[in-house]
Amino acid sequence: MNTTLLRQPGRVELTSGAARSKPFWNPYLAGVLLGLVLLATYLVTGRGLGATAGFAALATWIAGIVSPAQIQASVVHLKYWNEGSPLLNWTLFVLIGALVGAALSGWQGRRFSFIVERGPRVTDGQRLALAFVGGFIAAFGAKIAKGCTSGQALTGSSILNAGSLVFLVAVFVAAFGLAVFLRKEWL
C-alpha cells in the first residue's frame, strides 16, 4: 500500500453533534477489519456474510403469525420457515450481533444521536418517507439478485463470483444515475 492511500485529510463530521463525536477510522483500515471479519466467516462456516436473509426470516415469522396458510403458498416463505422456527436463522443472528457491535463502536466513539439523517433542503417527514420507499426497493432488488451489499458485493466479489461483480457494477450505475435527481435529499 502506498503513502497516498494512508494519508487522510482532516475529516469534517457529517453527523450533528459533531463537536463531541470522535472521527471515523481511516476507511482503508476499516475495510481491512471488515475484510478480516468476512474472511473469518468463510474460514469457519464455509459461507460468507449476508444481511437480507435475516430480514426475510423476520418477514416469514410475521407471516406465520398473521396468516399461517400463506407460508405453504410461497416457496420463499417455506425457505425461511425452518420447521416453525424462522427466528433461529443464522443471518438474523448476524444482524443482532451487528446491532450490538455497532452500538459498542458508536458508544465508544460518542456517535449516538437520535436524529434523522438528511440534507438541509428536505423535511424530516420527507426523508423518512424516502427511507421507507428506498428500503422497500432495495429489499426487492436484493431478493431478485439473491444478495445485497453483504451477500453479493462483499461475499461474492471476494471469491470472484461473476454475478456478484455484475451486481456491484449495476448498483453503482443505478445510484450514480439517480444521484442528480436526488441532490435535494442529500446535499
Partner 1 sequence: MFPLSSSIEFSLAADLAIALALGVGFGFALERAGFGSARKLTAVFYLYDMAVVKVMFSAVVTTMIGLFALSAIGMLDLSQLYVEPTNLTAQGVGGLLFGAGFLIGGYCPGTSMAAIATGRKDGLVFALGMLAGVYAYAEFTPQLDTWYKATASGELTLPSITGIGMGWWTLLFIAILLAGGWGMARLESRFSGLRPS
User: Of residues 8-27, which lie at the interface with partner 1 (CB under 8 A)?
Assistant: 9, 12, 14-15, 24-25, 27
* Of 20 and 105, CB closest to partner 1: 105
Does residue 131 contact residue 185 with C-beta atoms inside 8 Å?
Answer: no
∠87-100-153 over CA atoms, to 5°? 75
CA dist 116 and 130 (Å) reads 12
Query: Considering beta carbons, is residue 68 or 170 the nearer one to partner 1?
Result: 170
Residue window 106-135: x/- pattern of binding to partner 1, with contact defined by CB under 8 A: x--x-xxxxxxxxxx---x--xx-xxxxxx
- For residues 144-173, which are near partner 1 according to CB under 8 A? 144-154, 156-173
> Number of C-alpha atoms within 13 angstroms, CB side, residue 9?
2
- Least separation in angstroms between residue 68's CB and partner 1 is 13
* Min CB(84)–partner 1 separation in Å: 14
Among 105, 96, 90, 101, CA closest to 49: 90
**Residue 40 or 84: which CB sits closer to partner 1?**
40
Distance (Å, rounded) from C-alpha 133 to C-alpha 130?
A: 5
Q: Based on CB atoms, which residue is closest to partner 1, 33 or 68?
A: 33
Residues 60-99 that bind partner 1 (CB under 8 A): 60, 62-63, 70, 74-77, 79-80, 88, 90-91, 93-99
Give the residue, chosen from 20, 101, 123, 184, that forms a contact with partner 1 under the rule CB under 8 A: 101
